[in-house]
Amino acid sequence: MIVILKPDHNEKQLESLVEWLNAKGIEVYPSTGTMHTVLGLIGDTSVIDVSLIMALDIVEDVKRIQEPYKNVNRKFHPLDTVVEISEGVKIGGGNLTLIAGPCSVESEEQICEVAQRVKESGATIMRGGAFKPRTSPYAFQGLRDEGIRLLLKAREITGLPIVTEIMDADQLPLFDEVDMIQVGARNMQNFELLKRLGAIDKPILLKRGLCATYEELLMSAEYIMAGGNNRIVLCERGIRTYETYTRNTLDIAAIPVLKTLTHLPVIVDPSHATGRSALVAPLSLASVAAGADGLIIEVHNDPTHALCDGAQSLTPQAFDELAKTLFEMEQFLHSRKANK
Ligand code: PEP
Ligand code: MN
């Protein structure tokens, strides 16, 4: 349930409302926007008589909400959440953030070269898998601890913060220095892992599961937020459909839908969504047009020899051209908004 207060509400009356709700076992989370203060009520709100609250002078409206997620719900938190990844590097709040790098970290030369190139093109966060969730146990599994060490080396050289995937809560100590932790599609509903990530103070990139609904994705984010970590970025990375031409099917509608349902930033991974490098540019443009806060794109210095996902990786040159177009499009969307 949420209670919307009148803009000029009296603080004393607000205090007594909060005390009254607390006495009924309800926790109250105020969120102050430019126009209104909204109270998020958490607990068994079925014990509350809505008409009693409605009758209070300070209350403008009361809404019972049906959604099972509360912390991530935009109704509780009307303003967009902006997640700071490292000093000055943010996701959300109207700017387009580009995350780029190889599927997997393969060597020091590879990760450092790609990181430098994507930085020159305007990426502000680099990606690179150290622990790789592969369908086949015989496929390259990632450099693991050594991969994280190499990512940190590339960060030292380029200054770019890093995002890399965790596959098990036991790996957490290895992620101490990592700027943002990715929960991959296959782990979206690893609830024990989500609980552990809820207890740390680090940004989390939560990717949508291959067959997950919007509500399931939001409930997974809710697990993290319920633990106290609200630094979450959602990622639409394509879902399983009957189409086999592409690796997955990019669900463009997920962007505006999620941005309506939640205050968390939403980014798109057009690389895993399509599995084909030729489709990365058009789907990146479509994602930005649909309101994505950022993109995570696989870039490899030598895609044909990549140890993982070469077919969907852009060359640094192709990424550079795409980034230019994307920033032009961002400018266009900003100026259109400003002229409205
Ligand atoms: C990845 O980003 O390297 C990855 C494996 O992504 P996903 O979990 O979306 O398949
Ligand atoms: Mn990949």
CATH number of the domain at 42, please: 3.30.70.1140
pLDDT above 70 covers a percentage of the chain that reads 99
Domain assignment present for 78: no
Counting ligands in written order, which one lies closest to the CA of residue 147?
Answer: 1
**pLDDT on residue 205:** 99
Average pLDDT over residues 144-157: 98
Indicate whether 309 and 168 sit together in one domain.
yes
pTM of the model: 0.85
Residue type, 19: E
Report the pocket of ligand 1 as residue ranges, CB < 6 Å: 103, 129, 133, 184-186, 207, 237, 269, 272
**pLDDT on residue 32:** 87
The count of domains in the chain is: 2
Pocket test for ligand 1, best of 183, 207, 296 (most atoms within 8 A of CB): 207
Q: Which atom of ligand 1 is nearest to the CA of 185?
A: 8
For residues 39 and 69, the answer to whether their CB atoms sit within 8 Å is: no
Domain assignment present for 99: yes
Taking only the tens place, the pLDDT of each residue in 198-252 is 999 999 999 999 999 999 999 999 999 999 999 999 999 999 999 999 999 999 9
Which residues, 6+ apart, have CB-to-CB distance to 308 below 8 Å? Answer: 102, 103, 104, 129, 132, 134, 139, 140, 142
Q: Which of these three, 63, 95, 112, is where a domain ends? A: 63
Indicate whether 47 and 107 sit together in one domain.
no
Residue located nearest, by CA, to atom 3 of ligand 1: 103
Distance 247 CA to ligand 2 centre (A): 11
Indicate whether 134 and 228 sit together in one domain.
yes
CATH number of the domain at 203, please: 3.20.20.70
Counting ligands in written order, which one lies closest to the CA of residue 277?
Answer: 2
Indicate whether 297 and 171 sit together in one domain.
yes
Indicate whether 21 and 92 sit together in one domain.
no
Distance 90 CA to ligand 2 centre (A): 23
Structure tokens at 85: 């990844």
Taking only the tens place, the pLDDT of each residue in 261-298 is 999 999 999 999 999 999 999 999 999 999 999 999 99
Indicate whether 217 and 281 sit together in one domain.
yes
Pure H helices in the chain: 11-23, 50-54, 108-120, 145-158, 191-198, 214-226, 254-261, 270-274, 277-289, 316-338
> Whole domain around residue 248: which residue ranges?
83-338
Indicate whether 125 and 259 sit together in one domain.
yes
